[in-house]
């Protein structure tokens, strides 16, 4: 009788074991059903088998049978083996497969002595507690690992090894830092050894706080300029402010009010000094740069140019903030002229103008997927002093450089140039990435010229607008895979000790192309890959696409079921089930009336932030986002109305009509039921590419989930999983790469040799801007400046410009 008492359990303990067993059984039943659904789509058998084991184990635990623990232990050990077989040593992939079941195993080890006592058997408490202790240590290790960055160091980049002899590049007079668009500051006051001492030098609030309901409103994506002692910045609603670069005190502001509320942003400005000597090209056969015609002592010797969201090019006196009266119509040039119906937001400008010698070159954003009949994508060059149009390159009429005659327009609905451009003074050439004709997802009525110029890198003579060459990165684009970024000009090592004048740019599918600047020919290997067509009637699908295999591809692997991820086993199971339900043929999976998956999606991959490049070490730094997009096309009525052109991801809006086509479209990000990207992390990285070896030196995750909102609340967990990025990076000769445009509220500095995070500063809100760096002529100090107006997926918005510098020496 005494032995029976010793081995019995109290009623509450019995109830506890029954509840735990029923929970195990319920989880098992859910996995069993989900696993059967996954198998029906040709997926893994693991979830069904694990669900069956959990169900039986839970029933046995609820009945007080020790076999329940044994069954679960075997299933857990099998899970560990399966996890390593599927995921290798990838931390996040292993975590998703093991951690939840490890916690359940730990709980069961704690309870097993009670299960034994309930069954009338002698508990092996010491053994069970020892196993539970090992499980607890493993759990603590996996939790600890969640707060560590899981990047890859393959080789150290030879950065920051050459001291700066002078501060010749102390200004930031161009959108990309210099005319080569390297986003590189040859400054080394701030180094990897002292960056931890950086502190806020000044903060300025512009008064323009952007709001972006639904993702298609106003956003701060600005990059400032700094010339001599003045910092210039444009707010999302096109207010231009000039600040003292050392103190942040306002010198002047000029506002350009607008009623536009869709896709409102200003990425940057352009600067021109009419008093500076005109640089003529050195490449034989290049056209000459037209001279400046402006009398000495005239107003507006130094000018700031901005494209407004209402499609007006404005010229502002850089010293006073007044409009330059000799430019266009009292300082303004209406860029809608010659376009026909070009109401905002169907036609607008978000990127800065490009100063190409003495010509101001502008493209224009044509809203995607609105209607067949849209404004054309003409590129135009204007005299920097008078605003008179010097030339126009119309992709629908590429032989004519003139404005259309009265009552006619530039060809409608042609491919457009919305991203920033780059000017090469050596050859007087302006380089630009070209997007699509008006409808991305349906191309049955595109012209031969649409097919010729869509998805290309285009080189134009800056003085005449004549085409020099174009190179196509995607054929018959049905994915919105525009060339999204400003090209960066480099001297590319040819492997024989020499270099070739080249340009480098990335694409939305994570590819890097290296082209000869003079000919447009690839300098690294590009292969033709066969791709699968879909079944939309009369769609002239491309059968092959160019793939840049001679350079690393960033975050654009072909997904498999094994790449699916989730915060819980159910999340991962559902991502596998969803993935198996899509049609997916890898890169360039064409949209159709079924549900197809594009990875990367139309956001990228790589986007408008561009790359930064350290010419002293020939190292390129690339930030990316890894977001898939599912697409479903639906037949629609002939008279369907057009959308508003916001370009926000539209699953919550229902099917969006593509006016003038037989279809509307429904699309959204490839997310789990918890709102997490379905493929495994990282979802955004910073990658260093060695241009001599054409290989990756290191890769580091960018950003944490600290400020990510799930179920209406911020997580507050600084887990460096690597989040999608949208802005650009800044490299410096001090051996650093600065970056802010993640989904959390930090400006970070990374050791450019290894990718190690060596400093970070908390911002009041998130940022989508690109940092700049300069030396103030007043203080002689190096500053790093970033705009912070709010991260895209965050509800928090602000209007901040923040400068950082080292403290005064004692």
Are residue 101 and residue 164 in the same domain, yes or no? no
Asked whether residue 651 carries a pLDDT value surpassing 70, the answer given is no
Which of 102, 124, 146 delimits the end of a domain? Answer: 146
My answer on whether 140 and 67 are in the same domain is: yes
How would you classify the pairing of strands 184-185 and 730-732? Answer: parallel
Distance from C-alpha of 750 to C-alpha of 747, rounded to nearest angstrom: 10
- Residue the block writes with tokens 């494209």: 307
Residue 408 has pLDDT above 90, yes or no: yes
Question: What's the CA gap between 364 and 353, in Å, rounded?
Answer: 10
Q: Of the residues 188, 220, 480, 744, which is catalytic?
A: 480
* Structural contact between residues 508 and 604, judged by C-beta atoms closer than 8 angstroms: yes
Q: Judge if 138 and 189 occupy the same domain.
A: no
Whether the predicted pLDDT of 7 surpasses 90: no
What count of residues does the chain have?
810
> In this structure, are 17 and 131 located in the same domain?
yes
Q: Answer positive or negative: Cα dihedral of 765, 766, 769, 770.
A: positive
**Mean pLDDT of all residues belonging to the chain:** 94
Q: Does 81 share its domain with 192?
A: no
Which DSSP helix (H) or strand (E) runs through 303? Answer: strand 302-307
Residue 501 lies in a domain: no
Q: Which residue(s) pair with 701 in the sheet?
A: 685
pLDDT at 437 exceeding the cut of 60: yes
In a domain, 581, yes or no: no
pLDDT for the residue numbered 4 = 45
pTM above 0.75, yes or no: yes
Residue 390, token pair as written in the block: 């010097």
- Report how far residue 580's alpha carbon sits from residue 331's, in angstroms, rounded to the nearest whole number: 57
Q: Are residues 107 and 133 in the same domain?
A: yes
- At residue 703, the 3 state secondary structure works out as coil
ω into residue 345 within 30 of 0, thus cis? yes
Report d(CA 302, CA 292) in Å as an integer: 12
Interval 318-330 mean pLDDT: 97
For tokens 């054409």, the residue is 694
In tens, the pLDDT along 735-752 reads: 999 999 999 999 999 999
CA dist 617 and 754 (Å) reads 13
Q: What percentage of the chain has pLDDT greater than the value 70?
A: 97
Q: How far apart are CA 103 and CA 180, in angstroms?
A: 53
Rounded mean pLDDT, 460-484? 97
Integer distance in angstroms from the first to the last C-alpha of the chain?
Answer: 82
Tally of domains within the chain: 2
Closest of 602, 346, 618 to residue 492, by C-alpha: 618
Does residue 662 sit in helix, strand or coil? coil
Is residue 480 part of the annotated active site? The answer reads yes
Whether residues 136 and 163 fall in one domain: no
Is residue 731 situated within a structural domain?
yes
Q: What is the band of 648 on the pLDDT scale with cuts at 50, 70, 90?
A: low
Instruction: Provide the b/e sequence for 162-182 (b: ≥16 CB within 10 Å).
Output: eebeebebbbbbbbbbbbbbb
Q: How far is the CA of 772 from the CAs of 123, 672, 674, in angstroms?
A: 66, 36, 36
Q: What mean pLDDT is predicted for residues 620-636?
A: 95
DSSP secondary structure, 211-278, as one string: --GGGSSB------EEETTEEEEE-TT--EEEEETTT--EEEEE-------SSB-----EEEETTSPP
Instruction: Indicate left, alpha or beta for 238 from its phi (over 0: left) and psi (-120 to 50: alpha).
Output: left
Q: Are residues 173 and 140 in the same domain?
A: no
Distance CA 626, CA 40 (A): 28
Site of tokens 């500051």: 185
- Domain C-terminal end among 146, 166, 184: 146
Question: Is the Cβ–Cβ distance between 377 and 364 less than 8 Å?
Answer: yes
Give the confidence band of 494 by pLDDT, cuts at 50, 70, 90.
Answer: confident
Both 128 and 192 in a single domain?
A: no
User: 594: which DSSP letter?
Assistant: S
- How far apart CA 714 and CA 712 sit, in angstroms, is 7
pLDDT in tens, 559-579: 999 999 998 899 999 999 999
**Residue 60 belongs to a domain:** yes
* 124/48 same-domain check: yes
pLDDT confidence of residue 650 = 58
- Residue 13 included in any domain: yes
And the tokens for 174?
């161009």
Taking only the tens place, the pLDDT of each residue in 348-369 is 999 999 999 999 999 999 998 8
pLDDT of 567: 85
Lowest average pLDDT, out of 167-171, 513-517, 629-633, goes to 167-171
Q: What mean pLDDT comes out for the span 674-695?
A: 95
Determine the average pLDDT of the residues in 125-139: 94
By residue range, what is the domain housing residue 71?
2-146
Per-residue pLDDT of 72-102, as tens digits, reads: 999 999 999 999 999 999 999 999 999 999 9
Dihedral sign computed on CA atoms, order 7, 12, 14, 17: negative
For residue 267, give the nearest of 386, 188, 174 by alpha carbon.
174
Question: What pLDDT, in 10s, does the model give residues 268-313?
Answer: 999 999 999 999 999 999 999 999 988 888 899 999 999 999 999 9
Q: Is the pLDDT of residue 215 over 80?
A: no
Distance CA 618, CA 629 (A): 34
With a cut of 80, say whether residue 169 has pLDDT above it. Answer: no
DSSP line for 33-95:
HHHHHHHHTT--SHHHHHHHHHHHHHHHHHTT-THHHHHHHHHHHHHHHHHHHHHTT-HHHHH
Q: Is position 613 within any domain?
A: no
Please say which residue of 121, 146, 171 terminates a domain: 146
Q: Which two tokens stand for residue 534?
A: 């879909």
Q: Same structural domain for residues 136 and 12?
A: yes
Based on the domain organization, do 80 and 173 belong to the same domain? no
394 within domain boundaries = no
């Amino acid at each position: 009788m005494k032995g029976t008492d010793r081995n019995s359990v109290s009623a509450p303990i019995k109830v506890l074991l029954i509840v735990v067993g029923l929970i195990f059984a319920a989880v098992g039943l859910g996995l069993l059903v989900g696993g059967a659904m996954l198998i029906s789509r040709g997926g893994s058998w693991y979830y069904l088998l694990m669900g069956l084991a959990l169900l039986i184990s839970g029933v046995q635990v609820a009945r007080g049978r020790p076999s329940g623990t044994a069954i679960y232990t075997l299933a857990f050990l099998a899970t560990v083996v399966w996890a390593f077989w599927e995921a290798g040593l990838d931390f996040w992939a292993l975590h998703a497969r093991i951690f939840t079941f490890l916690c359940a195993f730990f709980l069961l080890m704690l309870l097993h002595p009670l299960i034994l006592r309930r069954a009338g058997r002698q508990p092996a408490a010491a053994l069970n507690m020892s196993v539970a202790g090992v499980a607890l240590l493993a759990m603590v290790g996996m939790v600890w690992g969640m707060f560590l960055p899981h990047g890859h160091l393959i080789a150290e980049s030879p950065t920051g090894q050459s001291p700066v002899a002078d501060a010749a590049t102390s200004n930031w007079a161009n959108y990309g830092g210099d005319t080569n668009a390297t986003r590189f500051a040859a400054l080394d006051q701030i180094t990897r050894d002292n960056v931890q001492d950086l502190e806020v030098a000044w903060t300025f609030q512009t008064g323009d706080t952007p709001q972006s309901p639904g993702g298609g409103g106003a956003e701060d994506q600005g990059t400032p300029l700094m010339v001599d002692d003045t910092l210039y910045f444009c707010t999302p609603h096109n207010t231009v402010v000039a600040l003292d670069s050392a103190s942040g005190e306002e010198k002047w502001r000029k506002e350009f009010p607008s009623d536009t509320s869709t896709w409102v942003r200003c990425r940057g400005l352009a600067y021109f000094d009419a008093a500076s000597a005109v640089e003529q090209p050195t490449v034989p056969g290049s056209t000459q740069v037209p001279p400046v015609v402006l009398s000495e002592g005239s107003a507006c010797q130094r000018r700031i140019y901005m494209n407004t969201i209402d499609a007006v090019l404005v010229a502002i006196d850089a010293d006073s903030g007044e409009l330059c009266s000799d430019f266009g119509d009292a300082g303004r040039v209406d860029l809608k002229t010659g376009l026909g119906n070009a109401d905002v937001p169907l036609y607008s400008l978000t990127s800065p103008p490009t100063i190409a010698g003495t010509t101001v070159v502008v493209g224009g954003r044509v809203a995607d997927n609105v209607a067949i009949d849209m404004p054309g994508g003409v590129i135009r060059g204007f005299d920097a002093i008078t605003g008179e149009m010097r030339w126009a390159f119309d992709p629908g009429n590429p032989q004519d450089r003139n404005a259309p005659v009265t009552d006619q327009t530039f060809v409608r609905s042609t491919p457009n140039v919305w991203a920033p451009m780059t000017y090469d003074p050596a050859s007087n050439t302006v380089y630009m990435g070209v997007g699509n004709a008006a409808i991305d997802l349906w191309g049955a009525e595109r012209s031969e010229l649409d097919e010729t110029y869509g998805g290309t890198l285009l080189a134009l003579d800056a003085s005449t607008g004549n085409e020099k060459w174009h190179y196509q990165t995607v054929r018959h684009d049905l994915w919105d895979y525009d060339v999204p970024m400003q090209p960066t000009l480099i001297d590319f090592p040819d492997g024989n000790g020499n270099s070739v004048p080249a340009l480098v740019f990335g694409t939305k599918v994570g590819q890097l192309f290296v082209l000869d600047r003079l000919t447009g020919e690839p300098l690294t290997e590009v292969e033709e890959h066969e791709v699968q067509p879909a079944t939309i009637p009369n769609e002239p699908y491309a059968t092959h696409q160019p793939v840049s295999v001679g350079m690393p591809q960033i975050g654009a692997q072909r997904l498999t079921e094994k790449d699916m991820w989730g915060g819980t086993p159910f999340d991962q199971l559902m991502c596998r089930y969803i993935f198996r339900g899509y049609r997916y043929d890898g890169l360039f999976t064409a949209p159709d009336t079924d549900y197809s998956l594009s990875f990367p999606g139309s956001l990228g991959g790589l986007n408008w932030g561009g790359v930064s490049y350290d010419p002293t070490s020939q190292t390129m730094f690339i930030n990316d986002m890894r977001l898939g997009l599912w697409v479903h096309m639906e037949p629609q009525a002939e008279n369907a109305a057009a959308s508003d052109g916001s370009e926000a991801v539209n699953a919550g809006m229902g099917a969006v009509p593509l006016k003038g086509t037989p279809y509307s479209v429904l699309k959204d990000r490839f997310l789990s039921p918890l709102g997490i990207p379905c493929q495994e992390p990282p979802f955004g990285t910073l990658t260093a590419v060695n241009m001599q070896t054409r290989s990756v030196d290191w890769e580091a995750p960018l950003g944490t989930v600290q400020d990510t909102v799930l179920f209406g609340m911020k997580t507050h967990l600084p887990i460096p999983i690597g989040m999608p990025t949208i802005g650009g990076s800044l490299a410096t000769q001090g051996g650093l790469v600065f970056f802010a445009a993640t989904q959390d509220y930090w400006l970070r500095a990374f050791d450019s040799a290894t990718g190690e995070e060596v400093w970070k500063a908390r911002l009041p809100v998130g940022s989508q801007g690109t940092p700049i760096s300069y030396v103030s002529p007043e203080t002689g100090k190096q500053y790093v400046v970033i705009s912070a107006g709010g991260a895209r997926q965050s509800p928090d918005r602000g209007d901040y410009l923040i400068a950082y510098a080292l403290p005064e020496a004692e």
